[in-house]
Amino acid sequence: MNDEAKAGAVGEVPARARAGREVFLDTLRGLLLVLMLLEHAPGPLHAWTLHWFGFLSEAEGFVFLSGCVAGWVYTRTLRERGVGALWRRAGRRAVTIYVWHLAAFVAVWGLLHYLDPHVARLGWGAWEPILGADWPAAAGWGLALFYQPTMMDILPMYFVLLLFLPALLMVAEEKGGGWVLLGSLVLWLAAQAGCRASLADYLPDGRGTFPGNFDVWAWQLLFVAGVVVGHRFAASAGPPRKRRTWVLGPALFVLGGLFAVRHSDWGGGVAVELPEALISKPHLGPMRLLNFLALAGLVYAGYPVLRTRCGNRALALLGRQSLVVFAFHLPLIFSLHLAQRYGWLPGPARQCGVVALAAATLWLPAWGAELGGRWRRRGAG
């Protein structure tokens, strides 16, 4: 029985079960996709997500890991095939993201337009201004990326960041990743000072513009930090293989403190009120960023063990096909909320069952994309 067969027999996956991929990173991305669905779906399951760790959501980890994988993969493209190939590959990926965003945008618009035009009752009123439009107009707003209603602002952010990725990697190659990270930090500080709001004053008013809830000036820091880490992985033949136990103490201290603050009202305690600017999700506030760094430090400290023991083939499949799965889960989330609105999900038990079944459907587009990729490779070969 070879190593891979042994690992599969006990539910583990070798770190590089697929050539050129780090299975544990794909597993993490797949897990975050499932947790995103649980987080946004109706019912009690959303309580079992990353909010347990304090002021966090799945989005922070997903954006960082996407940058990490992109930095790793595209650095290899730059070194093996040159600058031209890097720009072409990043451009093709950006176009693919753009197309999937448009498909998800139109699918969700169709659901809400025909089934629930009073979507404001769901608490997601950012869709309401465009529900009265016809298909071409709705598609036009999605195409222009100037209107990004609820849940539709992640893929446009990735699209923009992919366009800048080749330049970031070229600077990292010539000057070092530290300079890239420094520039990104300056943009994050500008976001904390309200840069996006200031620039929005120059855009035309009306329903044709809405930049979404995520401030790309702030959230680019997580993606760029991931790119720098991925670039370092490419330079050092992969992620760390030695335990960094010195990180454990500070990481656990910060996580414990922020957990206590976030859940201070448990057991009849007094809730701790923090300024919104510190914990803002749209602008990635300083305390939220610190919370993410602490959790990332915890994973970093135990990475050599995690990568060999915590790989999972099913979750890694979702992670490999994260773009397709993410786009698929957007109309799925709205469908679940519509089902609850129409009274089809009475009681926590049925809500949990239906949401769990919906989570299982995430593997359908992943399998389809995986098989499609295999057929294309066979055709090319």
Q: Is residue 377 part of a domain?
A: no
Query: Is the residue at 2 inside a domain?
Result: no
Would 13 be classed as within a structural domain?
no
By CB atoms closer than 10 A (0-12, 13-18, 19+), residue 347 is: exposed
* Residue 373, domain member (yes or no): no
In a domain, 10, yes or no: no
379, amino acid identity = G
Q: What angle do CA 290, 278, 245 make, to 5 degrees?
A: 10
Residues 6 or more apart in contact with residue 9 via CB below 8 angstroms: 1
The pTM of the full predicted model, rounded to 2 decimals, is 0.88
The answer to whether 131 and 117 are in contact (CB under 8 A) is: yes
CB 365, CB 328: distance < 8 Å = yes
Question: Residue-wise pLDDT tens for the chain (381 aa)?
Answer: 344 333 333 333 344 434 457 899 999 999 999 999 999 888 888 777 767 788 889 999 999 999 999 999 999 999 999 999 999 999 999 999 999 999 998 898 888 877 776 654 555 667 777 776 666 776 677 778 878 888 899 999 999 999 999 999 999 999 999 999 999 999 999 999 988 877 766 665 544 577 788 999 999 999 999 999 999 988 886 677 777 788 889 999 999 999 888 887 765 666 778 899 999 999 999 999 999 999 999 999 888 888 888 889 999 999 999 999 999 999 999 999 888 888 888 888 888 999 999 999 999 999 999 999 888 877 766
CA distances (Å), origin 274, targets 79, 192, 265: 46, 16, 13
58: containing domain:
22-368
The Cα–Cα gap between 67 and 41 comes to 26
Q: Is residue 14 a part of any domain in this protein?
A: no
Both tokens of residue 223?
A: 């993606």
Cα–chain-centroid distance for residue 183?
Answer: 22
- Tell me the C-alpha distance between 223 and 214, whole Å: 13
**Domains identified in the chain, total number:** 1
Q: Is residue 345 a part of any domain in this protein?
A: yes
Give domain status of residue 4, yes or no: no
